[in-house]
Chain A
Amino acid sequence: MGDEILRVGHLGKTFGNNVVLRDIDFTVSKGDVTSIIGSSGSGKSTLLRCINLLETPTCGEILYHGVPINGKDVNASEYRTHVGMVFQTFNLFNNLSVLKNCVIGQTKVLKKNKEESIAHAVTYLEKVGMAPYINAKPHQLSGGQKQRVAIARALAMDPEVLLFDEPTSALDPETVGEVLAVMRSLAREGMTMIVVTHEMAFARDVSNHVVFMSEGIICEEGTPKEIFESPKNARTQEFLARFTQN
């Protein structure tokens, strides 16, 4: 529990008069794999987007290594190079090839030289099994392939934490496995990850910390064993019961 990376404290978010997040507290330490589960509309994506500053929190704070990052004079772009994000809809750059998708952040944002960036990108593309496709454009790939490239793109920035927002929800059942396999291997290698997911098997087997959200609050959190084997909160029980039924 030593190396704390992120601490979210009393975080709140409202859209107009719609309170989407209330008093969210949790911490992420080095090597943690945190799964965020909960029913649709409970605020999971909003929480993840707040952590990456794609949404501005209404109140509360987010500390990155003890430093608040949701203040006025914080360089959000610089912060995001340390906290990467993988989206449900991939969001690969449609105008760039697979390789360039993974290189452009390194050269333009991190200002690394081209050769080094390409080598680095290829390393991660190999890792996700997409190296043969370096010349392809995103529209020429299947969903699972796109998502693996998106993961390589995020990894190529050498982030300290990687956020995943339902990375397999837009995929065909057959391709879900290839993306989960990549994520499992990242977890094994000690990558710090926060994963919003409906894949209960992944949450149970891969993560060391599970957060259950309902209606904008954290109802219950704990180890996968605690949450999946002896949930204390009635809503958690109800939610998990629905999953084990079907």
Chain B
Amino acid sequence: MTSSLPTDFLGRIIYLITNYGSSFLRGAGVTIAIAVVGTVIGCLIGFVVGITQTIPIHANDSKLKKFLLKIVNAILKIYVEVFRGTPMIVQAMFIYYGALMYLQISMGMWIAAFFIVSINTGAYMAETVRGGIISVDLGQTEGAKAIGMNHFQTMLYVVFPQTLRNIIPQIGNNLIINIKDSSVLSVIGTVELFYAAKQTAGAFYWYFESMTVAMLVYLAMTLITSFLLRKWEKKLDGAASFDLATTDTLAHTSGLLRGPTRRNGGHRHGR
């Protein structure tokens, strides 16, 4: 083109950022949107599938219930195995072109992206949720049953909150994976960050420079995400110490109280 184009690495990077920065940013926005929406919907799918797979079957349940649960669980198992056992890039082409050629449905960039990332994440999360539910100590369930909770209440108030806390690192992992792996959606024309970087690269044959910018933007997104996730986890864990309720009414009526036992020195006393 013109001789005014920079020829050194740094110059080209600066040129790309000043002239194509907005298209990189737009791509990054699409990437984040796909990753977040895909992870959220994927988690919902994973919760539903994982919870369904752990519904207990009792000896005196009706035949119909047993039969239905078996069928549903078989279908869910196939879903999980198929989507965990095949690459997302192939799934993307398979679903996009399958819908286009045989169902005459042109999914459009957003729908296709959300759909593929969601069901993919759902398959992974289903296993995570199932494992998370199983790993909650059986004593928790028995404690809940012993005060008269049914299965639904036990799950909702006791098991599930503990499962959720245990799998947050996995949810975060999936979000980070989705930020990176949504790049494969460029094969079905989703204009996310990688697609934008490739287009820019192609325009000047500056592959290295353009990918350098893409690398930095991806890294910034994943680092910020893991920082925010860790903050969220800390917040969920609550305070490391608790306040003793030493209001007169409480403290003096308790005949057996021997006074607080300090365990890790972290307890704050009084108010």
Point out the residues of chain A lying under 8 angstroms from B148, CB to CB.
77-78, 80-81, 105, 109-110, 157
Q: A26-34, A88-96, A202-210, A228-236: which one contacts chain B? A: A88-96
A142 adjacent to chain B (CB < 8 Å) = yes
Point out the residues of chain A lying under 8 angstroms from B255, CB to CB.
129
The residue from B60, B250, B256, B263 contacting A140, defined by CB atoms under 8 A apart: B263
**B225-260 residues at the A interface, CB under 8 angstroms:** 238, 241-246, 250-251, 253-258, 260
Residue of A nearest to B146 (CB): A85
Residue of A nearest to B246 (CB): A132
**B20-51 residues at the A interface, CB under 8 angstroms:** none
B93 adjacent to chain A (CB < 8 Å) = no
Instruction: Flag if B158 contacts A93 (CB, 8 Å).
Output: yes
Point out the residues of chain A lying under 8 angstroms from B165, CB to CB.
95
Instruction: Flag if A132 contacts B254 (CB, 8 Å).
Output: yes
Give the CA-CA distance A154 to B244 in the complex, in Å: 22
**B120-144 residues at the A interface, CB under 8 angstroms:** 137, 139-140, 142-144
- B256-271: CB near A (< 8 Å → 1, else 0) gives 1110110100010000
With contact pairs A129-B258, A145-B261 given, residues A108 and B149 touching in the complex (Cβ less than 8 Å):
yes
B161 adjacent to chain A (CB < 8 Å) = yes
A134 adjacent to chain B (CB < 8 Å) = yes
Chief secondary structure at chain B's binding surface: loop
Shortest Cβ gap from A107 to chain B (Å): 10
Point out the residues of chain B lying under 8 angstroms from A108, CB to CB.
149, 153, 157
Q: Count the A residues whose beta carbon is within 8 Å of the partner chain — how many?
A: 50
**A45-95 residues at the B interface, CB under 8 angstroms:** 52, 54, 56, 72, 76-78, 80-81, 84-85, 87, 89-95
With contact pairs A56-B59, A91-B139, A182-B256 given, residues A134 and B149 touching in the complex (Cβ less than 8 Å):
no
B106 adjacent to chain A (CB < 8 Å) = no
Residue of B nearest to A139 (CB): B263
Residue of A nearest to B161 (CB): A95
With contact pairs A95-B161, A132-B246 given, residues A81 and B145 touching in the complex (Cβ less than 8 Å):
no
Residue of B nearest to A181 (CB): B256
With contact pairs A157-B148, A181-B256 given, residues A94 and B244 touching in the complex (Cβ less than 8 Å):
no
With contact pairs A52-B146, A131-B253, A145-B261 given, residues A91 and B140 touching in the complex (Cβ less than 8 Å):
yes
B147 adjacent to chain A (CB < 8 Å) = yes
Shortest Cβ gap from B132 to chain A (Å): 13
A37 adjacent to chain B (CB < 8 Å) = no
Give 22 pairs: A residue, B residue, CB < 8 Å, sorted on A.
Answer: A54-B142, A56-B59, A77-B148, A77-B150, A80-B145, A81-B147, A84-B146, A87-B142, A91-B139, A91-B142, A91-B146, A92-B143, A93-B157, A126-B250, A131-B245, A132-B246, A133-B260, A135-B245, A137-B242, A142-B263, A153-B147, A157-B147
New A-B contacts (5) at CB < 8 Å, excluding given A54-B142, A54-B145, A130-B254 = A126-B253, A126-B254, A135-B242, A137-B242, A154-B147
